[in-house]
Amino acid sequence: MNYLNAFLFAGIACFLAQAILDNTKLTPGHVTSIFTVLGAILAFLGIYEKFVSFAGAGATTIISNFGYMLYKGAYLGFQEQGIIGLFSGLLCYSSCAIAGAVIFAFILTLIFKPKD
33-87: per-residue pLDDT in tens?
Answer: 999 999 999 999 999 999 999 999 889 888 888 999 999 999 999 999 888 888 8
The number of distinct structural domains making up the chain is: 1
Contact 65, 43 (CB under 8 A): no
- The helix (run of H) or strand (run of E) holding residue 115 is none
Decide if 116 is inside a domain: no
pLDDT over threshold 70, residue 116: no
Using DSSP, state whether 98 is helix, strand or coil: helix
Range list of H helices, the chain: 2-23, 28-44, 48-55, 57-60, 64-81, 83-111
Decide if 80 is inside a domain: yes
Structural domain that includes position 86: 2-111
Decide if 73 is inside a domain: yes
For residue 98, CA distances in Å to 1, 49, 77, 83 come to: 30, 21, 18, 23
